Amino acid sequence: MSQDLKWFKSSRSQPQTNDCVEVAGDVDGCVHVRDTKDRTGPTLTFGPSEWAAFVGGVKDGEFDMT
């Protein structure tokens, strides 16, 4: 994985908090996810279709806990 990834945290996250995740896209269309509490730790990598399915599930409420 490239060390040149540009990581993004949700705009809804508080600036001083490290209790969230960050995502970064790469040139192959993969999306990388990491924990802000351990930025040098492991990352999860999702292919474009996997990420699209996840985002679609979030938008459809598939993961709502209510």
The kind and range of the H/E element at 39 are: none
Is pLDDT above 60 for 2? no
Residues linked to residue 8 through DSSP beta bridges, in sequence order: 23
Reported confidence tier of residue 63, pLDDT bands at 50, 70, 90: very high
Backbone angles phi, psi at 39, to 5 degrees: -65, -20
Q: Which amino acid is at 40?
A: T
Is pLDDT above 80 for 61? yes
**Predicted confidence (pLDDT) per residue in 22-37, tens digit:** 999 998 899 999 998 8
State how far the alpha carbon of 21 is from the alpha carbons of 15, 34, 66, in Å.
13, 6, 22
The reported pLDDT for the residue numbered 3 is 63
Residue of higher predicted confidence among 61 and 19: 61
**Predicted confidence (pLDDT) per residue in 3-25, tens digit:** 689 999 877 777 776 778 899 99
Helix spans in the chain (H): 48-59
